[in-house]
C-alpha cells in the first residue's frame, strides 16, 4: 500500500486522573452459555465521580429554575387578564433554555459516570432524565395555555405552538438514544489494552470517535488546531467522543502495525501475541502502516 502523504500533526497528551478500575465480573460472560469468560467491568475514578456529581448538582439547579419558571408562568402570567403574551413567550423560551442547558451538562456527567445496562431502571432514568424533566417543565404549561379562558384562539395558537416547538427541541436534546454504559467502557478499554498493552487511544477535537493509534488517516486529516489528542478511553469519552471507531480492526492492521492474527486474538478475548505495539518514532512500520508522527 502506498504511503499516505500528510502534514505531521502534534500529538497532545490529555492530562487525566488515575485510570478507572477495570476487571472481570464474577458472573458469566455475554452471549449464549454460562461457560464463557467473565465480562470485563469498569468503574470511574474518584475524581471523575466527583466531577460528575458537581455537574449533576449544577444541572439540578438549572432544572429547578426551569420548574420554577413554569410555576411562575402558570400561577402568575396565565392568571392575568389580559395575559401578557410577550412575557409568556419569554418565559417559554427561558424554560426551554434552562432545560437544554441542564440536559447537556447531565449528558456530560453521564459520560464521566455512566450507568450499567444490567440495572435497567436506573439506566433508563439516568439517560433519559433530560427528556423527562423537559416534559414535566412544559406539559402542564401547554395544557393550561390551551384551556385558559382569558386568551383567545389566536393567542392560544401562538403561545401553545411555540411551547410545543420548544418542548420538542428540548426533549430531543434531553433524550440520549445512544447512551454510554459501564459495559461499553469496559469492552472498549479491554480491546485497547489487549491489543496495545496499555489504555491509550487517539482522537481529534472535531471527531466523534477515538482510535487505537495515532497513524490512522482519520486523525491526521487537516484540522483547525492541528493536534491529535491521546489519553485513556475514559478521557476520550469525557472529551465528548461517543465510542471506539467501529472499524478499529481494519485500522489496526492497515495503519497501526498489527497483524490479522493479533486482531483475531483480541476479538477472541486474548491479548495480542508478543504484545507488539505501534512502531516507535523513526522505526519502519509493517506494510500498510505509516510511520509514527
pLDDT digits (tens, 9 = 90+) for 140-151: 999 999 999 999
Residue listed under C-alpha cell 414535566 = 136
Same domain, 243 and 223: yes
Residue 21 covered by a domain: no
Residue 15 covered by a domain: no
pLDDT at residue number 281: 39
Same domain, 150 and 56: yes
User: What's the whole-number mean pLDDT along residues 196-201?
Assistant: 92
pLDDT at residue number 225: 76
Of 210, 287, 229, 233, residue with least CA distance to 256? 287
Residue 101 covered by a domain: yes
Region for 11 from its dihedrals, namely left if φ exceeds 0, alpha if ψ lies in -120 to 50, beta otherwise = beta
- Output the CA–CA distances (angstroms, integers) from residue 139 to 53, 127, 143, 167, in the order listed: 28, 20, 6, 8
Confidence of residue 190 (pLDDT cuts 50, 70, 90): very high
Residue 110 covered by a domain: yes
Residue 20 covered by a domain: no
Same domain, 185 and 163: no
Same domain, 244 and 289: yes
What pTM was estimated for this model as a whole? 0.77
Confidence of residue 269 (pLDDT cuts 50, 70, 90): confident
Confidence of residue 109 (pLDDT cuts 50, 70, 90): very high
- Of the candidates 174, 198, 219, which is a domain's last residue? 174
Give residue-wise pLDDT tens across range 59-75: 999 999 999 999 999 99
Q: Say if residues 148 and 126 touch (Cβ distance below 8 Å).
A: no
Of 254, 228, 211, 259, residue with least CA distance to 2? 254
Same domain, 107 and 197: no
228 by DSSP, 3-state: which?
strand
Kindly state the cell numbers that stand for 272: 495480542
Same domain, 126 and 189: no
Q: Say if residues 235 and 207 touch (Cβ distance below 8 Å).
A: no
Same domain, 153 and 107: yes
Count of structural domains within the chain: 2
Same domain, 225 and 143: no
Residue 37 covered by a domain: no
Whether cis (ω within 30° of 0) applies to the bond prior to 82 is: yes
Residue 86 covered by a domain: yes
Residue 38 covered by a domain: no
pLDDT at residue number 7: 55
Q: Is a pLDDT exceeding 90 seen at residue 138? A: yes
> What burial letters (b/e) apply to 84-119, b meaning 16+ CB within 10 Å?
eeeebbebbebbbbbbbbbbbbbbbbbbbbbbeeee
Q: Say if residues 95 and 174 touch (Cβ distance below 8 Å).
A: no
Element (H or E) spanning 13, and its range?
strand 10-13
- Of the candidates 126, 144, 174, which is a domain's last residue? 174
Give residue-wise pLDDT tens across range 271-286: 776 644 444 333 433 4
Q: Is a pLDDT exceeding 90 seen at residue 135? A: yes
Q: Is a pLDDT exceeding 90 seen at residue 91? A: yes
Same domain, 230 and 137: no
- Output the CA–CA distances (angstroms, integers) from residue 26 to 10, 34, 147, in the order listed: 42, 12, 56
Residue span of the structural domain in which 289 resides: 181-293
- Of the candidates 174, 189, 207, which is a domain's last residue? 174
Q: Is a pLDDT exceeding 60 seen at residue 2? A: no
Same domain, 208 and 235: yes
Of 150, 139, 124, 151, residue with least CA distance to 67? 139
Amino acid at each position: 500500500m502506498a504511503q499516505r502523504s500528510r502534514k505531521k500533526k502534534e500529538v497532545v497528551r490529555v492530562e487525566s486522573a488515575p485510570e478507572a478500575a477495570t476487571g472481570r465480573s464474577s458472573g458469566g460472560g455475554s452471549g449464549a452459555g454460562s461457560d464463557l469468560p467473565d465480562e470485563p467491568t469498569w468503574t470511574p475514578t474518584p475524581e471523575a465521580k466527583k466531577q460528575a456529581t458537581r455537574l449533576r448538582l449544577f444541572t439540578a439547579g438549572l432544572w429547578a429554575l426551569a420548574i420554577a419558571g413554569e410555576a411562575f408562568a402558570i400561577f402568575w402570567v396565565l392568571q392575568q387578564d389580559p395575559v401578557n403574551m410577550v412575557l409568556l413567550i419569554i418565559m417559554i423560551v427561558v424554560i426551554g433554555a434552562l432545560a437544554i442547558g441542564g440536559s447537556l451538562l447531565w449528558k456530560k456527567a453521564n459520560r464521566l459516570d455512566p450507568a450499567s445496562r444490567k440495572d435497567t431502571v436506573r439506566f433508563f432514568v439516568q439517560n433519559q432524565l433530560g427528556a423527562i424533566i423537559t416534559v414535566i417543565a412544559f406539559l402542564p404549561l401547554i395544557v393550561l395555555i390551551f384551556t385558559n379562558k382569558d386568551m383567545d384562539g389566536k393567542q392560544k395558537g401562538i403561545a401553545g405552538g411555540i411551547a410545543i416547538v420548544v418542548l420538542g427541541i428540548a426533549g430531543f436534546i434531553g433524550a440520549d438514544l445512544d447512551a454510554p454504559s459501564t459495559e461499553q467502557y469496559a469492552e472498549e478499554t479491554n480491546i485497547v489494552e489487549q491489543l496495545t498493552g496499555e489504555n491509550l487511544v487517539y482522537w481529534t477535537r472535531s471527531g466523534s470517535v477515538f482510535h487505537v493509534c495515532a497513524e490512522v488517516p482519520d486523525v491526521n486529516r487537516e484540522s483547525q488546531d492541528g493536534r491529535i489528542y491521546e489519553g485513556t478511553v475514559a478521557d476520550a469519552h469525557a472529551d465528548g467522543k461517543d465510542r471506539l471507531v467501529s472499524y478499529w480492526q481494519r485500522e489496526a492492521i492497515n495503519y497501526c502495525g498489527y497483524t490479522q492474527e493479533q486482531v483475531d486474538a483480541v476479538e477472541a478475548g486474548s491479548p495480542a501475541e508478543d504484545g507488539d505495539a505501534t512502531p516507535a518514532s523513526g522505526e519502519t512500520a509493517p506494510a500498510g502502516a505509516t510511520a509514527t508522527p
